[in-house]
């Protein structure tokens, strides 16, 4: 196993067993496990592993892995969208989703993972996700899909 693959496997184990809120915390835990990693390396690993932050019961937020290879992932993405969704509003070819505070990144990652044909990309903040829609005519179609997911 390559050093990078081994480190990323340890990262997955760490986030599954700990509430890790920052890249610095992750670097410290990796070092305890025998892996020297810079913040830049950990940042790349987070991106490659498709980690995002979700609210934590113990403290503010924690890293979680949304992208997995399970066939049930579509349901998990839908659940993340349903759990985080508050409201949506359209502005020409942009759809703005309001989420529970701290859930926007998870909702954005779930939407990206769903590969909805209408979505060109999204940007997430703390409680807002902006979706760039391929054309203005597709906004209503996407809104209907999202309504169906959040209100099954």
59 and 87 fall within a common domain: no
> What is the C-alpha separation between 26 and 18, in angstroms, rounded?
10
129 and 81 fall within a common domain: yes
85 and 121 fall within a common domain: yes
Instruction: Write down the pTM of the prediction.
Output: 0.56
* Per-residue pLDDT tens digits for 94-134: 999 999 999 999 999 999 888 888 999 899 999 999 999 98
pLDDT at 84 exceeding the cut of 70: yes
> What is the C-alpha separation between 80 and 135, in angstroms, rounded?
25
Cβ neighbours around 45 below 10 Å, total: 20
């Amino acid at each position: 196993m390559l050093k990078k693959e081994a480190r990323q496997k340890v990262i997955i184990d760490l986030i599954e067993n700990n509430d890790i809120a920052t890249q610095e915390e992750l670097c410290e835990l990796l070092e305890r496990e025998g892996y020297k990693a810079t913040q830049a390396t950990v940042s790349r690993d987070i991106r490659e592993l498709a980690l995002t932050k979700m609210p934590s019961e113990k403290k503010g937020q924690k890293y979680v892995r949304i992208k997995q290879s399970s066939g049930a992932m579509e349901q998990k993405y839908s659940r993340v969208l349903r759990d985080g969704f508050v409201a949506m509003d359209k502005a020409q070819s942009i759809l703005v989703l309001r989420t529970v505070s701290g859930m926007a990144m998870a909702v954005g990652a779930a939407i990206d993972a769903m590969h909805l044909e209408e979505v060109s990309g999204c940007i997430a903040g703390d409680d807002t996700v902006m979706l760039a829609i391929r054309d203005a005519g597709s906004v209503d179609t996407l809104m209907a899909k999202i309504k169906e997911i959040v209100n099954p």
